[in-house]
Amino acid sequence: MPSTVPEWMRRPVRRRDFAQVPEEWLPALCRAQEGDPLPARHLLADVLGRHPDSALGWFWLACVTDNPWEMLSALHKVKELGFGDVPAVRQGMSWAQEQIARGERAVPMGAPFVPAFHSSPAAGRRFRPVIPRPSLSLRWPFIAGLMVIVLVVLLGFGWALTGSGVLSASVPAPVLDAPSAGREASVLRWLSIGAGASWPAGGLHSAAEEHEQRAEALLQRGDFPQALAELNAAIALRPYDMHLQETHALAAQYWTGLQRYNAGDWPGAVQSLETLWHSAGRYREVSRFLGQAYFEWGMAEQHAGRLDEAERLYQRAMQLLPESVDIEDKLLEIHRIRNPIPTGWDKKIVVDIASQRFYAYEGDRLVYEFVCSTGGASSPTVPGEYKVLDKIPVAYSSAWHLEMPYWLGIYWSGTLENGIHALPILSNGQVLWEGYLGQPVSFGCIILSTEAAKTIYDWAEIGTPVIIR
């Protein structure tokens, strides 16, 4: 077993090697493995605050965090310290990137690259620390002497500041044991500042925050080029801040999508904005631009005669822009292209929405006339030229839980088919809209009395033209 961290990290790693961690880490890491990662994060924060070049510390921080961005950043630190060829490090980076792409949190000590270990020796075997420690007999005198020197220096420095008036009794001392001053804050702040950086009071950290705030204001105004420039400046000062990098990536993707949209590159705009639509709720206009890009792309496909692809694009556009009449008209247009009304047909149905009347013709001769009910204000019957698509003695609507006797289907509205049928029957046997014929009350279908519906059902044939005006 190697005795130092560099030696351990450079050799091919076996699973049992990961169990050989410093003994003082074991209790906290075991609690993390049992589902309580906070003590381990505090311990590792303390270690990394004093030893930012500890590759093993950064590796175990990646194992105990539930933030995949922090996990990825910690493993990048391991790689920068010269140990990127360790299989567990490579596997961990890939796994963290997958978690980020799926928008999921990590499970501390639950990732596949995290080795298993135990806190108690097995079969009398004692765990040895990876980093050799000096004996207590040599360490304590050194530590005691160092503490005395530090105390003397601090007392002398405090006396000098008090005598010069820099410190005053009226200024309250900072509360050092507040929760915000905990050990965990140290490693996260170190991450946000960058590798090897000191602890600036203001300095780089404040300058980065100013760039970030200006970028946020520019994003709100829609000035993406300037916002991206500000974010680049912030990232240069805080290269390990994954939140900044994510913000920059999303803003750049949105700006690319808008540029492609304005250039009429509909497939390119869809590619950029579709991914953004799944991951960025802050860009409220994504749905509008994405839906319009699908619609424009669909029209181009329809013009080229590719009706199947055009219909697919229109349907996706309708999902994003459900209130668009233009998209619905295009879907109906494709339906009419695929199902043209035959010429020279002797029979014809005409429905007049304004008068709520139903007419049946043979040639120019009117053979039937009935009172009907078309769609209500919330789901109107769509005017147009159609034909009878199917005939079902008793159709059933799973959307409305209705039986519809003497069904003649005439056109599709999204995933639902509208048609001509008798007064519908509820599951309890009650006849719906009885006494309301002559008023627009339906869900989009054309409703006739039971007798009239049976007459038309027997008279009409599949393919009979239906004109709704």
For 150, how many CA atoms within 13 A lie in the half-sphere containing its CB? 6
Q: What span, in angstroms and rounded, lies between the C-alpha atoms of 265 and 365?
A: 53
pLDDT at 248 over 90: no
What percent of the chain lies above the pLDDT cut of 70?
Answer: 69
Q: What is the pLDDT of residue 137?
A: 44
Mean pLDDT of the chain: 74
In the chain, ranges of CATH 1.25.40.10 domains: 266-337
Identify the pLDDT of residue 448.
96
Query: Could you tell me which residues are beta bridge partners of residue 447?
Result: 373, 421
Q: In this structure, what are the phi and psi dihedrals at residue 3, rounded to the nearest 5 degrees?
A: -105, -5
Across 421-439, average pLDDT:
91
Highest mean pLDDT among 45-54, 172-181, 188-197, 308-317: 308-317
Q: Regarding beta strands 365-371 and 357-362, do their DSSP bridges make them parallel or antiparallel, or are they unpaired?
A: antiparallel
Between 348 and 144, name the one with better pLDDT: 348
Q: Per residue in 373-392, pLDDT tens?
A: 999 988 899 999 999 999 99
- What residue type is assigned to position 178 of the chain? A
Residue 117 and residue 164: Cα distance in Å, rounded? 56
Please, is 116 exposed, middle or buried when counting C-beta atoms within 10 Å of its C-beta (0-12, 13-18, 19+)? exposed
Q: How many whole angstroms separate alpha carbon 403 and alpha carbon 417?
A: 14
| Angstrom distance (rounded) from CA 6 to CA 67 | 26
Q: How far apart (Å, rounded) are the C-alpha atoms in residues 468 and 350?
A: 6
Per-residue confidence band for 162, with pLDDT thresholds at 50, 70 and 90: very low
The pLDDT score that the predictor gives to residue 406 is 96
What's the whole-number mean pLDDT along residues 206-223? 81
What is the model's pTM? Answer: 0.40
pLDDT beyond 50 at 5? no
Which has the higher per-residue pLDDT, 210 or 371? 371
Could you tell me where the DSSP H helices lie in 238-374? 242-262, 266-279, 286-303, 307-320, 325-338
Residues of the chain with CATH 2.40.440.10: 347-468
266-337 has CATH 1.25.40.10 classification: yes
Specify the pLDDT at position 329: 86
Domain 347-468 carries which CATH code? 2.40.440.10
Nearest to 295 by CA among 274, 266, 257: 266
Task: Express each pLDDT in 98-107 by its tens digit.
Answer: 877 777 777 7
Q: pLDDT at position 83, please?
A: 80
Checking DSSP bridges between strand 347-352 and strand 465-468, what pairing results, if any? parallel
Most confident of the following: 36-40, 115-119, 168-172, 265-269: 265-269
